A = this chain, B = another copy of it.
Amino acid sequence: MGAFIDNFIEKIKEKRSHVVVGLDPDYDNIPEHLKKNATDSLADIGEVIFEFNCKIIDAVSDLVAAIKPQIAFYERYGIDGINAFVKTVSYGKQKGLIVIEDAKRNDIGSTAIAYSEGHIGRIDISGRRIPVFDVDAITLNPYLGSDGIMPFVKDAQDFQKGIFVLVKTSNKSSVEFQDIRVIENGNQHKLYEVVAGKVHEWGKSIIGKYGYSSVGAVVAATFPEDTKILRNLMPDTYFLVPGYGAQGGTAGDVINSFNKDGLGALINASRSINYAYKDSSKFDEHQFAEAAREAVIKMNKEINGSLQKNGLLNWSL
């Protein structure tokens, strides 16, 4: 098995898609007919969420390389929600998809090791090394510095996994700290540029055969000018790009996330795909999976179209 990022790139080319489908289940937005045998117990809610996810996965698995379940939407429902998360990860992998856990974990020392072992590595039980969550990649928060990242880099190397470190997030208040002006070696930058420099450094030891690192960065679609700067600072870093669709990012906005080789960016959409049936006059709630499929086809077309217009569409390996 090759490096995480090499497998990912091969899957992107096979599917001809740079899209990642976020799976952010919200019980209130799940069609009523899926709930018909459910009580309001958390166990039943977990079952409904899992069924919903399976149907979305079935509808899109031939169209995209990856899914990104956001664990907050599962943790919210406690143990039963996390159980639905675990089953979703397993189902997605079974369908040949790469699974990115959006968890934004962060800690130091033995705590960072514990997170890394549990999510992407192996735990050690009496000398046996056991995978637990075993996702393909996880998102991380960098505020604690290298101590919080290096345990994950090690497990990414050892177990062919990936990480995506927050650099510039899609929300309005991301400017409060991420855009603050800092002085480093006498020069002025924004904080996110300093973080980008570190991400580039963390990724150097784990670059795959296509020139990209298995240490990626989260860089939002909603600040396209910042993206241009970050693309230059992290040439061999894959960007996971939130903010498309429901958060306002467009195919034009995300073009700066790509490199000249037509690679380097994974564009995520969650709500606009999960609940596409709500925005459509063509589909009713019984056709939520068809609506999700159509939304993904449209998104693939938009992004590939924008790449083509800019001379960046390239499916050869």
Contact = CB atoms under 8 A, between A and B. Distances in A.
A75 B178 contact: no
Number of copies: 2
A233 interface: no
Given A183-B188, A194-B177, A171 B75 contact: no
B126 A145 contact: no
B181 A182 contact: yes
A226 interface: no
A128 B40 contact: yes
Contact of A108 (B75, B132, B170): B170
Nearest to A111: B72
Contacts of A198: 176
Given A145-B171, A145-B173, A177-B194, A76 B123 contact: yes
A164 B183 CA distance: 28
B118 A147 contact: no
Given A72-B107, A78-B118, A145 B175 contact: yes
Nearest to A132: B78
A114 interface: yes
A53 interface: no
Interface stretch (A79-87, A204-212, A289-297, A303-311): A79-87
Contacts of A145: 171, 173-178
Contact of A183 (B42, B117, B118, B182): B182
A93 interface: no
A23 B259 CA distance: 46
Interface in A158-173: 166, 169-173
A238 B142 CA distance: 24
Interface string A109-135: 111101101110001111010101100
Nearest to A109: B171
A279 interface: no
A180 B166 contact: no
A7 to B, nearest CB: 24
A79 B77 contact: no
Contact of A82 (B77, B79, B128): B79
Contacts of A86: 78-79
Contact of A142 (B111, B114, B143): B143
B194 A173 contact: no
Interface of A: 24, 26-28, 40, 42, 45, 70, 72-73, 75-79, 81-83, 86, 104-112, 114-115, 117-119, 123-126, 128, 130, 132-133, 141-148, 166, 169-178, 180-184, 188, 191, 194-195, 198, 247
Going nearest first, the 9 A-B pairs with the smallest beta carbon separation are A145-B173, A145-B176, A76-B118, A108-B171, A72-B114, A147-B173, A147-B171, A146-B173, A78-B132
30 contacts: A24-B111, A40-B126, A42-B130, A45-B125, A70-B114, A72-B107, A72-B115, A72-B118, A75-B115, A75-B118, A75-B119, A76-B115, A76-B132, A77-B123, A78-B86, A78-B132, A79-B83, A82-B82, A108-B171, A143-B143, A143-B169, A143-B178, A144-B171, A144-B174, A145-B171, A145-B173, A148-B173, A177-B194, A180-B184, A182-B182
